[in-house]
Every structure is written in structure tokens, then in C-alpha cells.
Chain A
């Protein structure tokens, strides 16, 4: 069982370019999430999806979009990257979106926007 995979592992991107970070889980979890991790700020939620076909905004959604066409995949798109989006991006999933549902994380994508 792979759990959650993310691609690419790392990327250097020119400002203004469009970029999609991929996330796939094989646990048949209903809920999926995208977080960004910045030094000194911990992890912050960008977008989430409680079930396939639905998405919602987290704490820091500006500049990002997501889609959830099926249960397994939850891509994150930066339409026009800016340097402040330089960060480590983690995808996570949980069986459901309740307060007792443990979120399991992918290995992360390190993104640098120049």
C-alpha cells in the first residue's frame, strides 16, 4: 500500500508560470487536504475536500485552486506563481472529515518560485 503519493518531489518555477502539484491516495479516503509549511509558521490549510465532487477554502486559499473529480486524486494548481508561494506543500487524507479522523500525509513537494 503506497498511501499518499505526491509529484513532483521538488520543483523550481519561474514567477508567472502555471503549476499543478499532484496528489493521489490509495486508501479510499473520502477527505483530502492541501497544506503549506513555511518556516516558523507550522502547517496551514490551503484547500480541502470532504468528498469527491466538493471542495472548500482553508486558511490561505488565495492564488491556489483545487479540483476533486474522483476519490483518489486531489491536484493543487497555482495559476500564476509568485515568490511568496515558495514553500513545502503537503497533501493529506482522512477517512472522513470529523474531529476524530486522523489525517495521513504525503511526502511533500518542495516548490521554489523565482
Chain B
């Protein structure tokens, strides 16, 4: 069964420090995409970063990077130099080959402390 698991319901990080949000996935497909979205308290879903299953390099977007370990089926989000505005819910999601259907994890709430 295709599934995304985020085992950390809530996380705290000190401002300016790095934080890793965990995500593991389960699929037998060879071709898939992994996404991270941010949902601030205002409620909108903001796309952060994408990793393709065939990408050999870890994806990076500014302060966001994705630590992709295919053999372990993990796609952890690393946020460097945390800012107060990073406080939000973060969702990991998987898109299977040519289905267009995102499967979401349950999310991790991140709180950045000043």
C-alpha cells in the first residue's frame, strides 16, 4: 500500500538553528515524486521542494533541502538557519507515476523559538 509516514507530530527548534523533519514513504513503484508543503496558521498550502525518484542529487531550494535516501525510503526535509516565520505545519507528500494523486502524511508542526 502506498503511504507517507511523518512520525513527529510536533517539533521545536531554536531560531537560527537547523532542523530535520522526518518523512518515510512506502511504494512499490519505481517512478514517483516526493514533495514538501508548508501550511502556516493562515491555512494556505505552500509548495517548498520536490525530489524525483530518479534524481541522484538531493534537491535544494534556498534554506530548504531534501535528504533523499532511496534505499531507506526516506525523504527528510532540512531547514537551515530557522526563522520565526518557519513556524508552521509541514506536510510530506508522494505522487505516483502518472496518477497525479498526491498522498499526504499527517504533518509535523514546527515551532521556532526566539
Contact = CB atoms under 8 A, between A and B. Distances in A.
A105 B45 CA distance: 6
Interface in A79-114: 88, 90, 92, 94, 96-105, 107-108
A31 B103 CA distance: 16
B79 to A, nearest CB: 19
Contacts of A45: 101-103
Given A41-B106, A96-B100, A99-B52, A90 B45 contact: yes
Given A99-B33, A100-B50, A43 B102 contact: yes
Contacts, number: 78
Contacts of B105: 42
Interface residues of A, number: 29
Contacts of B91: 42-43
A50 B104 contact: no
B100 A97 contact: yes
A92 B35 CA distance: 14
Interface residues of B, number: 29
Given A41-B106, A42-B107, A101-B100, A108 B43 contact: yes
Contacts of A33: 100-102
Interface of B: 4, 31-33, 35, 37, 43-47, 50, 52-53, 91, 93, 95-107
A99 B32 contact: yes
B44 A102 contact: no
